[in-house]
Amino acid sequence: MAGLHTHQSQSLTTLRTDQVRRPRLAYVLGDNSAFYRDTTPLVMPEMPWQSYLGLADGNWSAGDSSAPSFALVVRQLDTEAFLRYGALPQPVWLINPKQGAFVDPSMPTRFRFLSSPRQEGQFGSADAVMMVDLPLTFRSNNADIPFPTQPGPSSHGAPVLIRNRAFDANPDINASNAKGKGWTLERGSLPAGTQGFAVSGDRTQPIYYAFDDRTLYAERSGKWTPIISNLESAPLFGPVFPNPYDANVLYVITSDKGVQVSTDVGASFHPDADLNALVGMAPGGINQIAFNYDRPSCVVVGTENGKLLFSIRSFGGWQDFSVVLPAPLVPIRSVSVDCEAIYAATLGRGLWRVVHYS
């Protein structure tokens, strides 16, 4: 925290390496680029923070503990950095902007790293999915020129999902030697009006969800089936939070019943009464819900009014850890949890770590 008290944190990514080491961290700031830190054994001093100033005003970050060597920090479509821990950050583009309207993947509900639960082990490659419209293009002589190799046929402005199973090999889609390299068509159609997607399951059998401004759809036997309506127009990370390490569990923020939870892969939902009582039913109260790679039943919630909430689902109930944060409370924009600590990235008080939480 020294010297960082005014950090306007927007997004936090933690990457668990193993149970006897601190996680790798990366977070972005709305006014001062991005910071990241590598892992060390718990019995050793922490590594120093490093900064990446090429991002300027950062918006979000992404990564996953099933591939803990990589993270992505993003400002916008053409201003990002791919982090390989132990090496220098690599400036990258997700796609090239097109003239006129196009599907922009540079938001956390349109770009996801595919996760896998702990029992499947960790991976040395990054597996990424993003929502775009095809063809992918580059700009030449004031015209949009399609890449020579495409993930699929033209989608005529409609959104599709494309996937790169070795995203770390070619994270910059605009590189002269890698225009579109590694990307394949993952889902050639999405529900009309799709604004974003989410995914759980694993790399072999991902479970996809798509949402528009009111309805959440689940992919069932190759078809998109509506499973819940009245979605709340939620902030940056969306109204949908599937547990990446337990595919049965799915949290959804709705306008009529607050937070609802499914424990059967979206087949049924019920309001989480305890969580709703702590958060209140005001729209936009929850900014992010995160899960523990080592113990998927551990769930942490960060809210716009500064509440830091924790639950172990197998025990039931929620605990309010906001009492350990300084007053007055400030918005908690992003959260994460691992076997050592809960992390809260705040809008104005930097990054906080809560240990001995269980």
DSSP states of 259-287 as a string?
A: EEEESSTTS--EE-HHHHHHH-S-TT-EE
Residue 302: the pLDDT is: 95
Dihedrals phi, psi of 48, to nearest 5 degrees: -70, 155
Q: Do the beta carbons of residue 232 and residue 253 sit within 8 Å?
A: yes
Q: Which amino acid, 143?
A: A
Buried b (16+ CB within 10 A) or exposed e, 20-49: ebbbbbbbbbbebbbbbbbbeeeeeeeeee
Dihedrals phi, psi of 169, to nearest 5 degrees: -70, -35
Q: Is 54 helix (H, G, I), strand (E, B) or coil?
A: helix
pTM of the model: 0.94
Pull the structure tokens for residue 262. Answer: 């499914």
Question: Residue 50: how many CB atoms within 10 A of its CB?
Answer: 15
State how far the alpha carbon of 221 is from the alpha carbons of 158, 208, 218, 264, 274, in Å: 21, 11, 10, 16, 34
Residue 283: the pLDDT is: 47
State how far the alpha carbon of 242 is from the alpha carbons of 33, 73, 189, 219, 313, in Å: 28, 21, 21, 14, 14
Q: Is 311 helix (H, G, I), strand (E, B) or coil?
A: strand
Q: Is 168 helix (H, G, I), strand (E, B) or coil?
A: helix
Residues of the chain short of pLDDT 50, as ranges, are: 283
